[in-house]
Structure 1
């Protein structure tokens, strides 16, 4: 009883702290990939938070074809460390090296979740019509346009209603359902590592 009493809050804190930072690192990867405006205040916030760990790693790991590989490696190392710490807390003494593999499906799931939330937030913001020059709106549009534009070309608005976000959300959920289970089986991920 005492172990679970202290272990569960520790696991929660580890998941929150590592999860938030890993999300910010993946967001930096995505923002660079979509060539977001890095003078945007939100982009600057993301850059300032990630540079202390990402800067030294970038000296060793170059980008490939415009993709920030150092950000992906940092996210992978953070997720792996999170899973190792949780494994130690729940009493796993061996096979924690598997966390380096278990983190892969977890990162793919996190990446899909970031995109899901971005599209969902964009849908909600479209109902209230905020200022399109707002830094958050501009960044959100830049992040979601690569997903929405191809669908908008295939599915034009019906009676003035843009259905492309619905198709993108369904596609992302399907991708999550079809990609994650095989990845989890391939990496032998335990249920607590997802």
Structure 2
């Protein structure tokens, strides 16, 4: 029962956290919010982000409320998993640090799979006008463009995704996993760690 409860909590909260992270990434990328998928993300996240936006100012390209909501959802997910699994709660500082580590891990995972999805779509339907393909391209372009500038032009071959995958994996191994281990974060507390 414990494993099933942890699975359900991680799945439900993980999916909502993914939507919040996508909204944050859409804001950073200045994506087209008239895209039907972007509108769906906004509609699903607005009930919780709306009240936070009234209190927290918008800074630059993104709303601080979105980032805070992502942190709070991750924090709540960790607390619920610990309680369901029968562990006691650690001190609030450890919870906050674990939440930041989990949030960073989720951002890297989402970016990895968004790039992977855009690669697959470029092979299967290179000239598609589907809103999902366009949204993936908008989400990944802020990371892919600098990688393309770093690599020489090889005609029709684009090796920038490989460079970005290497960087994502290095960040995951050298930063996220090292921080998780340094701060005593239990394995499996957050999906992907």
TM-score, with normalisation over the residues of structure 1?
Answer: 0.90
SS at match of 1:173: helix
Instruction: Name the stretch that deviates more: 30-39 or 119-128.
Output: 119-128
Structure 1 match to 2:51: 56
| Aligned-partner SS, 1:59 | helix
**C-alpha deviation, 1:53, in angstroms:** 0.7
Q: Give the distance between the partners of 2:30 and 2:164, measured in 1 at CA.
A: 21
CA–CA separation in structure 1 for the residues paired with 2:146 and 2:81: 40
| Cα 1:162–1:93 shift into 2, 3 Å | closer
Deviations 1:48-107 (A, max 9, x none): 000011101111111222222111111111111111111111222342633232111111
Report if aligned partners of 2:144, 2:164 keep a CA contact under 8 Å in 1: yes
The answer to whether the 8 Å contact 1:102/1:193 transfers is: no
Question: Which residue of the partner structure matches residue 87 of structure 2?
Answer: 92
Contact 2:143 2:164 in 1 (8 A): yes
- In structure 1, the partner of 2:13 is 18
Which of 26, 34, 38 pairs up with 2:29? 34
Cα distance in structure 1, aligned partners of 2:89 and 2:135: 43
- The unaligned stretches of length 5 or more in structure 1 are 1-5
Determine the structure 2 residue equivalent to 1:3.
none
Between structure 1 and structure 2, the one with the greater Rg is 1
* 1:137 alignment partner in structure 2: 133
> What RMSD in Å do the two structures reach over aligned CA positions?
1.6
Instruction: Determine helix, strand or coil for the equivalent of 1:36.
Output: coil
- Is 1:109 aligned with 2:105? yes
Structure 2: gaps spanning 5 or more residues: none
Q: 1:166 aligns with which of 162, 180, 190?
A: 162
1:181 to partner: Cα distance: 2.7
Instruction: Spell out structure 1 runs of 4+ moving beyond 4 A.
Output: none
Judge conservation of contact 2:37–2:132 (CA < 8 Å) in 1: yes
